[in-house]
Amino acid sequence: MPIKKHTFFALFCLTLLVPSVKAQDGDPVPVANYEVSNLCWGSVTNFTNTSTNMDVNHSFIWTIWQQGNAVPIFTSTAVDISFLFPAKTSYTVQLGAINYTPTHFHSDDATRTIIIDSIPVANFDFKRCHAKFSNLSCCANSYLWDFGDGTPTSTLTSPAHTYTTFINYTVTLIASNGVQSDTATQVIFPYVNDLDSDFDIVYDGDTVRFNSLYDSLKGSTCDWEWYFGDGTEIDTFGTGGWKVKHSYQRYERDSIYTVALHLKDPCYESETEKTVLIKGIGKNVEGTHVFPSPVVHGYLNIESSEKDRLTDIKLIDCLGKRLDNYVVSDKPYGYYVYIDQIANGVYTVQLVFTDHIENHKFIKQSP
């Protein structure tokens, strides 16, 4: 918790969890309550009604008295109110909550004493994942942050700051109104973003080993999502995803796949894509094969024992329209079709041979 040099000038009542209460006549009895924000003199104070156990027919009445005066300076029947207090002093604020029917009337009051002043109170919160500081100070209009790591200070209201080491830092905030100031300090332990989703590729025939370059000891809190480009994937939590291997189908000859590693920890994400070439020299292609489906990254592969009679390759969307935003490249016994530029959806690849036409459906989707 922050260490403060001044006491926060407000009297807060303890809010209890109150079960639904009914009177002897069976009607609900209201529980009046409200929250207050901004007790700085010279600016508007907001009161938020948090009353519970209200009936369908109900009403509220707000009353504000200045200390020592019997006559209210403000009344309202609104649900929530905002009020600009006229002086630096103590005030009594009462909220009355009322349930009523044609025959019964039940009410409850919440009354508090608040102090309106202009003494600044420094306070802040730290969002560990993204090194974001939230300024919670009151009655101040300028700020000075010291992040505790020797880097330059900041005068932003709620700055973000990048740390480079997993250690404790003492952060100091000075909040000022131009005349007076207050200081809050807090010891934080930031989460440093050092994720690296790069990986090595080791070929072993049809099997490929993928070795992450990220330290396996650090990866104990990571989620490893591997996409192998042929429609299969592995999602592993912890160090088990550091090194994986994948076997491609035997009929897939000299095929290009885009392999991706999506690495996530509790705060950050990193993704790397690389292409792999699976060779198939010496294998017989029987029939025609279109793969993978779904295509998540990069290439659709077409292989056919009748490649010499294949005269045209058409991509057709679900409305029957032929697309033109794809690239076809030659490979042994077939073709690569690069389709990263087309939208997600269901498509048909139409293969036009000299003596017949084949239609093969496939899915294009994002990782």
Domains of the chain: 1-118 (2.60.40.10), 124-188 (2.60.40.10), 199-278 (2.60.40.10), 288-364 (2.60.40.10)
Structure confidence by residue, pLDDT tens digits, 126-148: 988 878 899 988 888 899 999 99
Of these ranges, 115-124, 152-161, 226-235, 274-283, the one predicted with the greatest mean pLDDT is 152-161
Predicted pLDDT at 14: 31
Residue 356: pLDDT band (50, 70, 90) is very high
CA–CA gap between residue 332 and residue 313 (Å, rounded): 16
Nearest in space to 257 (alpha carbons), one of 274, 244, 234, 279: 274
Rounded CA gap, 219 and 354, in Å? 54
The answer to whether 30 and 98 are in contact (CB under 8 A) is yes
pLDDT digits (tens, 9 = 90+) for 68-118: 899 999 999 999 999 999 998 999 999 999 999 887 889 999 999 998 988
pTM listed for this prediction: 0.48
Taking a C-beta distance cutoff of 8 angstroms, is the pair 154, 168 a contact? Answer: no
